[in-house]
C-alpha cells in the first residue's frame, strides 16, 4: 500500500518535534528511477504558501527526485523568512540524498502565519535520509535510526510516510491500484478536500509506469478534475493543496495513456473518498449527483451550490430530507433549467417531482452515513457528482478550537 | 414605531392557526393614501415562491394598496394549488378592503414544499380586515374582534403586524426614522438576511412622503444595495425574500430624492442590523470591511468571500483571531490585489501586515458580541462592509431541528 507499493520508490516517516503531540511529522518520498518524471496540481487559491511557491519552480522541468512533506505548520504567510525555510528544507534533502535541490518538491500543512522551526526540520530530514539510506536487508539487530525505521521500500515505510503527514486526520489514507504491467500507489492527508482547518489536502501518488512528465500531467489533470476537484467538504480552499504524481519507470511498462488515466482516476477517487470519510466532524458522506444537465460544468455548478448550503448540510446532520433547501440552493446558480420542473430524490426516494411534493419524506432513511442526493434537471444529458459532508456540532467544535 | 409610524397607514397582526404555537401568524398593512405608490425588491433566487410570482405581477403598475403577509408556510414549491392559495389570499383581502386584488402584495414565510391551509388564511384575513375597519376611537368596551386588536393606525397595531411575521425570530424588528417633513417606518422578519431555515427575510417599509413609484424604486434599490444586500448571515439565499416600500403621501412633503434615499438607507440599515443581531444561533455580529480596493464591487466580493468561510466563522465562535483563514478566503476571489501585501485587523489589532504576522494575536479580545474585521488590500480607494455572523453549535442545532 501507499507510495512504496510501485517499484522504484523509497519512503520514510519520522518525528522531529513540529507536532506537540510527538507524533510523526515529516515524510520523505524518493523516486529511485530509472525515470524521475513528475506532474503536480497546486491549489488555485491566489494566496499560496511558501512550499507551493517553491514547488511551482521545481515543476518547471517536470523532474522530481524527492518530495519532503511536513505537518505541524503550513509555512504560509510567513514572508521571506518562511520561503527561506522551504528553500533550506529542499537543500537539506538534496545534500542528504545527493540530488539537486531544484528537484525536491516541498509540501507543508498546519496553521497559517507561524514560522516553522528550521532546526527541527533539519533534524527530521537527517532522520528521514538515514532511514532511506539503510539497506532493505537490515535486520532487527541493526543500530542507529535505521533500527527504528522500516526498510525504506517496504509497505511499512509507505505507511509511516502517510502517518507523518496527518493533521486532524484520524486515519492515514493510502491506495494501491494495479494497472496493465504497472501499478499506482498513493497517500493523502486532509480532513476534507477543501482545507478543513486550512490544514490542507496533500497527496503523493507514485507509479512504476514509464511515462514522461507531459503525459503524467495530462493524466493527472484528467484524474483530479473528476475526483479531488469534486470533493467539497466545507467549501474552504486551502493555500497549500498539492497533488503530485511521480513516475519511476521501474516496471518498464509504457501504458496506453487512456488506460493509465483510468487507473490513476481509480486511485484518486479512492483517496478522495477516504478524505471525505474522515472529514472533520462529519457524520454523513453525501454524494450529490445532478443528472440531465446541459453540460457537465453546469451539472457541477448545481451540485456544488447544494454542497455549499449550510442549511442543507445541517438538515442532513439532523436526518431531515429537506428538499426545499436543495432547490433553494439550485436556484442560486446560473445553470440552465426550469425551476419548476426538477425532481429531487434522497436515498432513492423521490420527495420532489417537477417542483412539487411527491413521495412522503417519512419514507427517507437518513440514518446511514452514506447519503445519495439525486437532482434531475431534465434539460440535457450531462451528469456530475460532488462529494460533501454534513455540517455538525463536531465540525464547529473542531474548527473553533483548532488553534487553541 | 413600525409600519404605522408614518401617516396614512393601518396595520393588524392576528392569529389564524398557521403556526402550531398559537402565536400571531398573519399581518395586514394598508396604505390609506392619498397616494398608493410602491416599489419592491424581490429575491434573485431563480426558484421563487408563489407569493413572489404573484407579487411581481402586482408590481407591474407600481401601485400597492395593501400587503398581506403570513408566517407558518413559505408557499414555495407547492405548484398550481399553491399559486391559487396566494391568488385567493389577495382576493379575500381585496374583497374585505374594497380594493382590487391586483393591488394586493402577498408575502409568505416558513417551510418550503407544504401547502398553506386556505381556510385558516381566510379566517385570518377576516380578523385582520375587521381590525383595520374599526374606528381609532374604539374604546376598551368595544365588542368582537376589534376588542382584542389595537386601533389600526396605532403603534401597537404596527407592532402586532411585526410580531405576526416572526418565524425563528426571537424579537420583532421595527424602525422609525424622521426625514424632512415626512418619516419612514418599517418592520422586518428573518433570523439572518439570507434565509436561515429558508424562513425568509420579509420587510415592509412605509412612508408618508409624496413620491411616485419610479422615485421610490430608485431610492429602494439604492438603499437595499448597501444594507440588506450586504447582510450575509449564512450564505443561503431564500426563495421568498421581499422588501417593499409603500408611500401614502399623507405628509404632503415631496422630499429631495437624495435626502429621501439617505433617510431610507438609515431605516434599512437599522432593520438589517436588527436581523443580524437576531440571526439564528449567532453569538457574534461581524462587520467585515475591505478598504482600498479598486472598486466597490471588488471590495464587496472580498468581504463576502470571507463572510462565507465556515472556517473563519467557526474561528470567531471560538474567539480565535485566525487571520490565516481570512486571507485564505480572500485568495479565492478574482478581485485585484497583491496576495502578499494585505493587512488584516481584528477589533483594531493589526495581526497581519503585508502578509506576515504583525501584532500578537493575544492582544485581540473577541469576547464582545461585536467583531470588526478590517482588510486593507492597498490597491485603490474603494470600501465596502459585509455584515455576517459566526458559525455556532446553536446554528447547527436550530437548522438541523427546524423541520422536526
Please state, in angstroms and rounded to a whole number, the distance separating the CA atoms of residues A15 and A21.
Answer: 10
Q: What is chain A's mean pLDDT, rounded?
A: 87
pLDDT at A142: 39
Give, in degrees to the nearest 5, the angle at Cα B310 between B306 and B312. Answer: 55
Please state, in angstroms and rounded to a whole number, the distance separating the CA atoms of residues B376 and B360.
Answer: 18
In chain A, domain spans: 2-277, 285-401
Smallest CA–CA distance, residue B343 to chain A, in Å, is 11
Q: Which residue is it, cell 519507470?
A: A249
| Statement: residue A143 has pLDDT above 50 | no
Quick one: closest CA in B to A73, which residue? B324
Q: Does A315 sit within 8 Å of B399, measured CB to CB?
A: yes
Tell me if A346 sits within 8 A of A323, measured CB to CB: yes
Chain A neighbors of B311, CB-CB under 8 A:
195-198, 234, 236, 399
* CB contact B168 to A (< 8 Å): no
The model's pLDDT over B28-65, given as tens digits with 9 standing for 90+, comes to 999 999 999 998 888 777 778 899 999 999 999 989 99
Of all residues in chain B, what percent carry a pLDDT higher than 90? 57
Q: Does A356 sit within 8 Å of B403, measured CB to CB?
A: no
Chain B neighbors of A237, CB-CB under 8 A:
328, 331-332
Q: Does A396 sit within 8 Å of B325, measured CB to CB?
A: no
The model's pLDDT over B38-47, given as tens digits with 9 standing for 90+, comes to 988 887 777 7
Q: Which residue is it, cell 433547501?
A: A325
CATH 3.60.70.12 for the B2-277 domain, yes or no: yes
| Statement: residue B251 has pLDDT above 80 | yes
Q: Which residue is it, cell 535505521?
A: A146
Quick one: closest CA in B to A353, which residue? B77
Cα B338 to Cα B148, B207, B334: the distances in Å are: 63, 46, 11
Question: Which pTM does this prediction carry?
Answer: 0.80
Show which of residues 258-297 on chain A sit within 8 Å of chain B, judged by CB atoms: none
Cα dihedral B147/B152/B153/B155 (nearest 10): 60
* CB contact A331 to B (< 8 Å): yes
3-class secondary structure, B216? helix
The model's pLDDT over B263-320, given as tens digits with 9 standing for 90+, comes to 999 988 888 888 888 888 889 999 999 999 999 999 999 999 999 888 899 999 999 9
Query: Which CATH fold topology does B285-401 show?
Result: Ubiquitin-like (UB roll) (3.10.20)
Q: Does B239 sit within 8 Å of A196, measured CB to CB?
A: no
**Catalytic residue positions of A, numbered:** 200
pLDDT at B79: 87
Please state, in angstroms and rounded to a whole number, the distance separating the CA atoms of residues A189 and A170.
Answer: 10
Q: What is the average per-residue pLDDT within A1-15?
A: 91
Q: What is chain B's mean pLDDT, rounded?
A: 87
Cα dihedral A266/A237/A108/A132 (nearest 10): 0
Q: Does B237 sit within 8 Å of A328, measured CB to CB?
A: yes
Q: Does A111 sit within 8 Å of B328, measured CB to CB?
A: no
Q: Which residue is it, cell 516496471?
A: A251
pLDDT at B234: 76
Q: What is the average per-residue pLDDT within A87-111?
A: 95
| End-to-end CA, chain A | 34
Smallest CA–CA distance, residue B353 to chain A, in Å, is 10
Tell me if A36 sits within 8 A of A217, measured CB to CB: no
Amino acid at each position: 500500500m501507499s507510495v512504496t507499493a510501485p517499484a522504484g520508490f523509497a519512503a520514510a516517516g519520522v518525528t522531529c518535534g513540529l507536532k506537540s503531540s510527538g507524533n510523526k511529522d515529516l515524510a520523505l518520498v524518493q523516486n529511485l528511477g530509472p525515470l524521475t518524471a513528475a506532474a503536480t496540481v497546486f491549489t488555485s487559491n491566489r494566496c499560496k504558501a511558501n512550499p507551493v511557491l517553491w514547488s511551482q519552480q521545481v515543476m518547471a522541468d517536470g523532474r522530481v527526485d524527492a518530495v519532503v512533506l511536513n505537518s505541524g505548520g503550513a509555512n504560509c504567510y510567513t514572508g521571506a523568512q518562511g520561503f527561506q525555510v522551504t528553500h533550506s528544507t529542499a537543500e537539506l534533502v538534496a545534500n542528504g540524498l545527493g540530488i539537486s535541490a531544484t528537484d525536491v518538491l516541498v509540501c507543508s500543512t498546519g496553521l497559517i502565519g507561524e514560522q516553522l522551526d528550521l532546526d527541527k526540520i533539519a533534524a527530521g530530514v537527517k532522520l528521514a535520509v538515514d532511514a532511506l539510506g539503510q539497506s532493505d536487508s537490515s535486520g532487527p539487530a541493526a543500530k542507529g535510526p535505521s533500527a527504528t525505521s522500516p526498510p525504506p521500500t517496504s509497505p511499512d515505510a509507505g505507511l509511516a510516510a502517510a502517518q507523518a503527514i496527518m493533521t486532524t486526520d484520524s486515519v492515514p489514507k493510502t491506495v494501491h491500484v494495479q494497472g496493465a504491467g504497472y501499478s499506482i500507489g498513493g497517500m493523502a492527508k486532509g480532513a476534507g478536500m477543501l482545507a478543513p482547518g486550512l490544514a490542507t489536502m496533500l497527496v503523493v501518488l507514485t507509479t512504476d509506469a514509464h511515462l514522461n512528465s507531459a503525459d503524467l500531467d495530462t493524466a493527472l489533470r484528467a484524474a483530479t478534475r473528476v475526483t479531488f476537484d469534486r470533493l467539497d467538504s466545507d467549501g474552504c480552499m486551502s493555500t497549500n493543496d498539492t497533488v503530485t504524481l511521480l513516475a519511476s519507470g521501474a516496471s518498464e511498462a509504457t501504458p496506453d495513456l487512456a488506460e493509465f488515466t483510468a487507473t490513476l482516476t481509480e486511485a484518486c477517487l479512492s483517496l478522495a473518498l477516504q478524505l471525505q470519510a474522515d472529514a472533520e466532524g462529519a457524520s454523513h458522506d453525501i454524494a450529490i449527483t445532478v443528472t440531465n444537465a446541459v453540460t457537465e460544468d453546469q451539472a457541477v455548478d448545481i451540485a456544488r451550490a447544494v454542497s455549499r448550503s449550510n442549511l442543507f448540510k445541517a438538515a442532513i446532520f439532523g436526518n431531515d430530507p429537506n428538499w426545499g433547501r436543495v432547490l433553494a440552493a439550485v436556484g442560486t446558480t446560473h445553470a440552465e433549467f426550469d425551476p419548476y420542473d426538477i425532481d429531487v430524490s434522497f436515498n432513492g426516494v423521490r420527495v420532489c417531482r417537477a417542483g412539487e411534493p411527491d413521495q412522503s419524506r417519512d419514507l427517507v432513511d437518513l440514518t446511514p452515513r452514506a447519503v445519495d442526493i439525486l437532482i434531475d434537471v431534465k434539460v440535457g444529458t450531462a451528469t456530475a457528482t460532488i462529494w460533501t459532508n454534513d455540517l455538525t456540532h463536531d465540525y464547529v467544535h473542531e474548527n473553533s478550537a483548532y488553534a487553541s
